[in-house]
Amino acid sequence: MKFYSTNNINNQVSFREAVIKGLPDDNGLFMPESIPVLDANFFATLPQKSIAEIAFEVAKPFVKEDINDEKLQTIVEETLNFPLPVVNVHDNINVLELFHGPTLAFKDVGARFLARCLSHFSNNSEEKVTVLVATSGDTGSAVANGFLGVPNVDVVILYPKGKVSHLQEQQLTTLGQNITALEVNGTFDDCQRMVKSAFLDKPLNKAMKLTSANSINIARLLPQSFYYYWAMAQLSGADDVVFSVPSGNYGNITAGLLAKAMGLPIKGFVASSNVNDIVPKYLATGNFEPKPSKQTISNAMDVGDPSNFPRMTALHKNSWETICQEITGYSFTDGETKEAMKMVFDKYGYVLDPHGAVGYLGLQAYLDKNGGTGVFLETAHPGKFADTVEEVIGSVEIPERLGAYLNKEKNSIEMSNQFEGLKDYLTKHLR
């Protein structure tokens, strides 16, 4: 299997090269040259399989030239060693809980898979790799946890100052060792732009080996498809399943679209956004118009230029009409998000985080018009957004492993939102 750039189909590399490079030289995104369709027996026996067994079969066609079966089995078993349950909230509305991993966010799945792939590829190598990652909240902590203490790997996390929750920031800035947190005076879009600029800077890449841990890396995107199969296995017998995905950079929903392209019988998707509604507006008008992001209580979705959009269009041959057949888009304000959090808690006793609440709202809007069996993704534990959640419902449980970060000392480096500052730091401190 080769992986091409969305900016040049003739620019093709192996899975190993795509993972290590992170981003093609032409600023596109890596995509598989073809989408394998899994056989009917695989889908018929989904409910009898473990999530690791499912992940092995899904990943194998993409990685088999670079990762042997034995190593791939180890990678998926180590990646997926925590529960990912589907829970009924009420009626035909279910939630896929993706917050039971080490950092209590869905990014744990992709980050752990990527870390293990990179570790495998760098085995017996003395060359140091620097992992760059921009985060609007949860990506950074998941990546930091996945790579903490890994030999010959430095992790540099860029996050927007004052625009992540207190607990998210503590998870980013208190680990030390090979993890460095850069506190950027700007937005997530600035952080993302700085990271992309680093990959396109030829002198910098000649001086050091850089790779990405954002969902622009194919080894972050691929494993996020695993839990769509797992959710369908838990909903055995349902043939009208719609997934509502709280969306910011659109890697999570793109992974679901990939699963459907491989044969998973999903009815459709809902792109649920906050007021950063670039993709819902595209679905309504056919015009993709990035714009500066706006700060909201669902901060991980505060993205004004979603980087995975080219993959979404590539999966549908750049056809707006085809994309609209697969995805319905809705956007919601902070006020609507808080109202949903309160209503679901008061009426059904379920605690939503601000991102899951947006997913719930999008799903409810879709089902009211179309019916079906609905699943929304709860992407982070509500305790990570304690201030907002407690304002709405009164109290929230903070798991012990999350609360442990509260008393640790923050250690970050402030930086402007200009690429030159990042380049100066990397060349002086990490060569």
Q: What is the pLDDT of residue 237?
A: 74
Closest by CA position to 341, among listed 326, 351, 330: 351
Distance, in Å, from the CA atom of 105 to the CA atom of 379, rounded to the nearest integer, reads 6
Distance, in Å, from the CA atom of 272 to the CA atom of 281, rounded to the nearest integer, reads 11
386 inside domain: yes
Taking only the tens place, the pLDDT of each residue in 50-59 is 999 999 999 9
408 inside domain: no
209 inside domain: no
Q: What is the pLDDT of residue 276?
A: 96
Query: Tokens 């993959």 label which residue?
Result: 311
Sign of CA dihedral 202, 204, 206, 208: negative
295 inside domain: yes
Q: What is the phi/psi pair of residue 253, to 5°? A: -75, -30
Domain that holds residue 273: 83-104+220-400
Which listed residue (21, 60, 71, 107) is catalytic? 107
Mean local confidence (pLDDT), 147-152: 81
CB atoms near residue 285 (< 10 Å): 10
Q: What is the pLDDT of residue 431?
A: 57
Number of domains in the chain: 1
CATH code of the domain containing 226 = 3.40.50.1100
Q: Do strands 129-134 and 268-273 pair parallel, antiparallel, or not at all (unpaired)?
A: unpaired
Confidence of residue 124 (pLDDT cuts 50, 70, 90): low
Q: What is the pLDDT of residue 50?
A: 97
Distance, in Å, from the CA atom of 403 to the CA atom of 336, rounded to the nearest integer, reads 28
Distance, in Å, from the CA atom of 239 to the CA atom of 262, rounded to the nearest integer, reads 16
Taking only the tens place, the pLDDT of each residue in 196-220 is 899 889 899 888 888 888 778 999 9
Q: What is the pLDDT of residue 211?
A: 84
Confidence of residue 27 (pLDDT cuts 50, 70, 90): confident
288 inside domain: yes
Tell me whether residue 107 is one of the annotated catalytic residues.
yes
Q: What does the block give as tokens for 198?
A: 């680093």
pTM score? 0.90
